[in-house]
Amino acid sequence: KDPSLAELTHYLATQRILGAVQKKGGTQLKLLLSFPNYGETLLKPMKQTRDAETDVNLFYFSDFERHNAEIAAFHLDRVLGFNRIPPVVGRLINVTREIREITTDRKLSRTFFTSPVGNVCFYGQCEYYCSTEHPVCGRPHLLEVSLAAMLPDLNLAPRRSWRSPWRRSYSRTKLAQWEKDPKYCDIVKQTPPYSHGSRLVDLIDMAILDFLMGNMDRHHYETFEKFGNETFLLHLDNGRAFGRHSRDEPSILAPLQQCCRIRRSTLLRLRLLSLPSFHLSDVMRESLAQDPLEGVAPLLSEQHLFALDRRLVTVLQVVQTCQDQHDDVIYNDLEGYDQQPDGRQSTKKEK
């Protein structure tokens, strides 16, 4: 409910662009745009249409990143009550006037060309899909992009990158340890920082988010160093989400299935979003309607929205299975928040 959020997203969607350069690092093309007040934003371009599903023959680490996935992930993260993705907004930009004519990046500038049908295209330099065979093209000049708010400079707010215990092997032939050992969570529970505090259920929150949006590409996560282990995870880099709506990937839920732990607040929110009057798909549709690009075309197809409802049922079924087998499934993060009006503590238990 922060009123500054609407101001920030409006700013990202409307401010004049003064500069555009490629962002170093990463596997696919990203740009850094600069604004008149010295602000910056991270741009990811539209590479494929909304209804294009990921090729079933592609590995998860070879998939395109999608601009609408970044936008939808931000909205889903808020709908779930996590609020761990920096604001992301969609925008139509003119690739000629707002990138080509103002960039000081010569390597980027040299990759611009006009396609056979007259569209202005570019491809930049990166590890994957930066070639004339995989260009980013306007129509003929207008291009859909996602713009993400930048986190504070590392000198002001240092961050630490953590390798996810449930990181995939990123190999075409090998499996990760967690894929071979059903009791893998017992090892994680004994390893700091997962051995105390809320870090483990933080990770399970992130796994639920990733399962709902079909994101298999969660190899690392970040935290702010200032707060030590009493912190929250940053759910960054969600461009490979929402690739398939016709198939679910149950292995993404491995942290929940193997650890059988979930925040009480998360479970209550999931149950709420499963009610007929609060269908997750309906809430997401309403939330996405606030984005500027929704006026161009729906950011998520109806198939993707229906997939959210289907996957939510799966998450709740996994939780129920855990509760049938274990007594300590619920991590009560609402202690002290659920007092009755007369000050007495509620004794109602989760079922």
Active-site residues: which are they?
Answer: 217
Residue 170, phi-psi category: left (phi > 0), alpha (psi -120 to 50), beta (remainder): left
To 5 degrees, how large is the angle CA 252–CA 256–CA 262? 135
The sheet that has 31-34: what strands, in order across it?
19-22, 31-34, 40-45, 142-149, 88-94
**156: which DSSP letter?**
T
d(CA 75, CA 289): 10
One-letter amino acid of 143: L
Identify whether the C-beta of residue 82 lies closer than 8 Å to the C-beta of residue 201.
no
d(CA 77, CA 57): 29
Helix, strand counts (H, E) of the chain: 10, 12
Q: Find, among 206, 208, 211, 209, the residue nearest to 221 by Cα.
A: 206
d(CA 293, CA 92): 7
d(CA 85, CA 288): 15
d(CA 44, CA 33): 11
Q: Provide the token pair at 47.
A: 């590479």
* Residue 298: strand, helix, or coil: coil
d(CA 167, CA 188): 12
Q: Provide the token pair at 145.
A: 């992009």
